[in-house]
Amino acid sequence: MTGYRLGYLAAPKPIVAAAAKLQSQITSCATSIAQHAGIAALLSPKEYIDGKVVELQGKRDKALASVLAIDGVTCPKPGGAFYLLPDVSKYFGRTAPNGETIDDANKLCLHLLSEYKVALVPGDAFGAPNTLRISYAATVANIEDAITKLGTCLASLKCP
């Protein structure tokens, strides 16, 4: 259900009331498609859910190992969701082969997209400006391809 933005909150009444007040001002409602997908997810057999958890853990571990194999990149092991947030700040201030200076994660993401056809998200929006957000809710082949291209890109950047 990636991208459906569907959830629930279980909390003490004052917290739920405050969250409901905030939510009512920033969103209208979940789409009917998302609501039906949520029902299907909640009714899924435990074996299916357990299998998906194992699948995502395997993808996480493979993606994390690949990211950590890139020189100068650090990354904590995520405990939830399906994203890595590797710190790539060692490469900030370096110059790409096309002459562009990579000053921050945003410029690195734009460079990756234009030169390597890899779409990653700068970590700024998640309170981690030195990082990139990499989803591992994709095929193993796509994950491997993206991280390989990230490594190639970073290796191509020259110190000033």
Q: What does the pLDDT look like over 71-97, one tens digit per residue?
A: 999 999 998 889 999 999 999 999 999
pLDDT of residue 77: 96
**Each residue of 136-155: pLDDT tens digit?**
999 999 999 999 999 999 99
C-alpha–C-alpha distance, residues 84 and 64, integer Å: 7
Per-residue pLDDT, averaged over 121-142, amounts to 95
C-alpha–C-alpha distance, residues 75 and 67, integer Å: 8
Helix crossing, 140-156 with 46-68: angle to 10°?
20
CB atoms within 10 A of CB 136: 26
The mean-pLDDT minimum among 23-27, 45-49, 54-58, 69-73 falls in 23-27
Q: With a cut of 80, say whether residue 2 has pLDDT above it.
A: no
Q: Which of 82, 81, 110, 75 is nearest to 96 (CA)?
A: 110
- Percent of the chain clearing pLDDT 90 (strictly above): 81
Choose between 7 and 77: higher pLDDT. Answer: 77
Choose between 141 and 125: higher pLDDT. Answer: 141
3-state secondary structure of 139: coil
CATH of 46-156, one of 3.40.50.10490, 3.40.50.410, 3.20.20.70, 3.90.1150.10: 3.90.1150.10
> Quick check: 75 and 92 in contact, CB under 8 A?
no
Per-residue pLDDT, averaged over 17-31, amounts to 85
Domain with CATH 3.90.1150.10 in the chain: 46-156
- The four Cα atoms 68, 72, 78, 82 give a dihedral, to 10 degrees, of -80
Instruction: Indicate the pTM of the whole model.
Output: 0.83
Q: Which of 131, 33, 127 is nearest to 90 (CA)?
A: 131
